[in-house]
Amino acid sequence: MKDRPSQFSSASASAHIDEVTGGRRLRRLRRTDWSRRLVLENELSVNDLIWTFFLTTGTGVAEPVEAMPGVERYSVDMAVRMAEKAAKLGIPAIAPFPREDPEKKTEDGSYITDPDNLINRAVRAIKKEVPEIGIITDAALDPFTTHGHDGILRNGEIVNDESVEMIVRGALSQAEAGADVIAPSDMMDGRIGAIRKALDENGFNHIPIMSYAAKFASAFYGPYRDAIGTLGLLKGDKKTYYVDPANSEDAVREAEQDIAEGADMLMVKPGLPYLDIVYRLKETFRLPTFAYQVSGEYAMIKAAALNGWIDEEKVMMESLLAFKRAGCDGILTYFALDAAQRLK
Ligand SMILES: NCc1[nH]cc(CCC(=O)O)c1CC(=O)O
Ligand SMILES: [Mg+2]
């Protein structure tokens, strides 16, 4: 015991370490900045970003979303300006979500089919002024129903086939308004095939479908429901149609089914807590695969940053890079504008 310090001279420690590692020192390539850059495996680019944001009625409106500091709801005219900003930053696509006028909400969500609803007006205006940016629209019913569900509610049940009919009509009205990608987030069975058929039969066979294939019944959507005004409305939960957070085989089956029905791209939602699903879907199907960094994920990062507990910019960029490492081709994120600015 007395000799112990001398046994740990640096020379003998080195010899010991070389013996156990076989001389393989993984830190060699991490020593310098140039060398770290040289061996980078994944990189985030502005081409990976899809900007998610909110719409509201009126003109000249940019109002803050309480649970998402830094995020605002825009009236159509302001959304056009913001889309222009996104396009100038090189962001390839946007995904707007409407906070519809509560008076337009109905039991069956049929306002989704109105050519003059908020989302369709915004799509038309943005397509006219900023044609170079891609617009991805959600064909789910939740902004349009009085109960906040993504489908039609009958006797306490979300009825599948009738919901699909309405969702298909909504998707068609979005395509007619000029949407570039239809991205249904409702998780009804058979909706991908039904939307594909309707698009093809109506002159929209060039419009791709990005399926929210693996959408989980998650508590991370809280701030979004506040943002689109469905928080107080939602009756019960969405467990009868979204995937259980405990399951991954079910997520694989959902993706397999959506691909068989004609999905061009897959999405996983939420994002960071579900990177294992991203990895599995990418490895299994090799399709363009996306993840949605949802409102609750955004709020967590913002809240910690506002408290001075984490470095917002670093955590934002690290979280986005993690999606790339897991296999994402792109990320739907409320951070898109900030991240794009940072990537300039
Ligand atoms: N069709 C519903 C929908 N569309 C976008 C989100 C969540 C997005 C987010 O949390 O950022 C949800 C989830 C939900 O309310 O169940
Ligand atoms: Mg499905």
Q: What is the pLDDT of residues 96-148, one digit of tens each?
A: 999 999 999 999 999 999 999 999 999 999 999 999 999 999 999 999 999 99
C-alpha 211 to ligand 2 mean position (Å): 9
Residue of 105, 127, 238, 269 with catalytic role: 269
Q: Which residues are near ligand 1 (CB < 6 Å)?
A: 138, 140, 142, 150, 185, 221, 224-225, 238, 294-295
pTM above 0.90, yes or no: yes
- Residue 104 appears among annotated catalytic residues: no
Residue of 105, 127, 215, 282 with catalytic role: 215
Tokens linked to 35: 């060398």
- Residue 282 appears among annotated catalytic residues: no
Which atom of ligand 1 is the closest one to the Cα of 242? 16
pLDDT given at position 1: 47
Q: Find the ligand nearest to 252 CA.
A: 2
Q: Find the ligand nearest to 186 CA.
A: 1
Percentage of the chain surpassing pLDDT 90?
Answer: 94
pLDDT of 3 over the 60 cut: no
Residue predicted with more confidence, 12 or 116: 116
ipTM: 0.96
C-alpha 314 to ligand 2 mean position (Å): 36
Percentage of the chain surpassing pLDDT 70?
Answer: 98
Q: What is the pLDDT of residues 174-195, one digit of tens each?
A: 999 999 999 999 999 999 999 9
C-alpha 51 to ligand 1 mean position (Å): 14
- The domains located in the chain, with CATH, are 43-343 (3.20.20.70)
Q: What is the pLDDT of residues 35-94, one digit of tens each?
A: 999 999 999 999 999 999 999 999 999 999 999 999 999 999 999 999 999 999 999 999
Which atom of ligand 1 is the closest one to the Cα of 52? 11
Q: What is the pLDDT of residues 185-221, one digit of tens each?
A: 999 999 999 999 999 999 999 999 999 999 999 999 9
pLDDT of 8 over the 80 cut: no
**Which among 294, 297, 331 is the best mutation to test ligand 1's pocket, defined by most ligand atoms within 8 Å of the CB?**
294
Q: What is the mean pLDDT of the chain?
A: 96
pLDDT of 255 over the 70 cut: yes
Q: By alpha-carbon position, which residue is closest to atom 13 of ligand 1? A: 221
